[in-house]
Amino acid sequence: MRIGIIGAGSIGLLFAAYLSETCPVTVYTKTVDQAKDINKNGIVLVKNRQEIKRDVEARGIDTWNGQEDLIIVAVKQYQLEEIIKKISQITKIPLNILFLQNGMGHLKLLSRLEGHNLFVGSVEHGAYKESAYRVRQNGEGVTNLALFCGALAGLSSFISLVPIDFPVCFHENYYEMLLNKLIINAVINPLTAILQVENGGLLKNDYYYNVLKDLFTEITFILNLEEPDIYFNRVIEVCQNTAQNRSSMLKDIVSGRKTEVDAILGFLLEKAQQEAKPAPLINSFYNLVKGKEMNGQAGESSMNNNIAPSS
């Protein structure tokens, strides 16, 4: 089974490193320079103080034409629009495509694609991109997978080939599967991004923990959750198991990058509007994160303007 991975961030590199054990993998990068680095150095997986090198082919995204048996889309949700357009131009039908985005805002985009076998997933592994070709796994979990539309055969073949040390779990209901991850992300990510703390910091500080509970309660109200204690316990468990980790949203804010807040809290705000329910906390954290985004990107732009061009 030939696998193509679109996106060479932390998750794309992590998947490429593991899947290349059992399948030929091609990684499609945003920049040609990153593709050159991967072709020269391979992908280096840093895990448990060990470095594992995997030889993986890399190409620029412009060369992708859908020839693989399975395509894994591992870009951020806000980068997905361009990929969806590119997929729409592929004449080979049907394609087997697995989307690995946070939140649930991308589901509307996937609904535009017709005639393909589409799968969605949520990733519980912790990963950090150290360089163009190095990725550190700082938390082991599972990848949850489900069918969004089309035929299941392509996903079943993929599951049978995944290495045993990179476990996957198939779910019958994609919405419920993504909802579980959405709730975790919607509580932990914005709080850690604004408070500038690691995940475990939300439990160590009583005042932060009170806000966590209030935010979760509002999310419960918006989503009409049955048995909310089950979801709350999962949030707490993730905070405990990843206590030393920084959330992806915090890392994006610190690095001056755009976050996935629209796919996470933005989705909940749309849901609140549909339900005609107030969501003051969700709205406040959404605006705070967007404000942090704006400040970070403006600061980065300002710094870039002060750097003389190299000759």
Q: Give CA–CA dist 150/95, Å, rounded.
A: 10
Q: Give CA–CA dist 102/77, Å, rounded.
A: 7
Q: Give CA–CA dist 288/311, Å, rounded.
A: 39
Name, in order, each residue with C-beta under 8 angstroms of 24's C-beta and a sequence gap of 6 or more: 2, 3, 57
Name, in order, each residue with C-beta under 8 angstroms of 275's C-beta and a sequence gap of 6 or more: 222, 224
Query: Choosing from 47, 76, 86, 181, which is the catalytic residue?
Result: 181
The single-letter DSSP state of residue 197 is -
Q: How many CB atoms lie within 10 A of CB 67?
A: 12
Measure the CA dihedral 121/122/126/129, to 10°.
50
* Residue 230: closest CA among 220, 215, 241: 220
Active site (annotated) includes residue 181 = yes
Backbone angles phi, psi at 167, to 5 degrees: -65, 150
Q: Is the Cβ–Cβ distance between 68 and 146 less than 8 Å?
A: no
Active site residues: 181
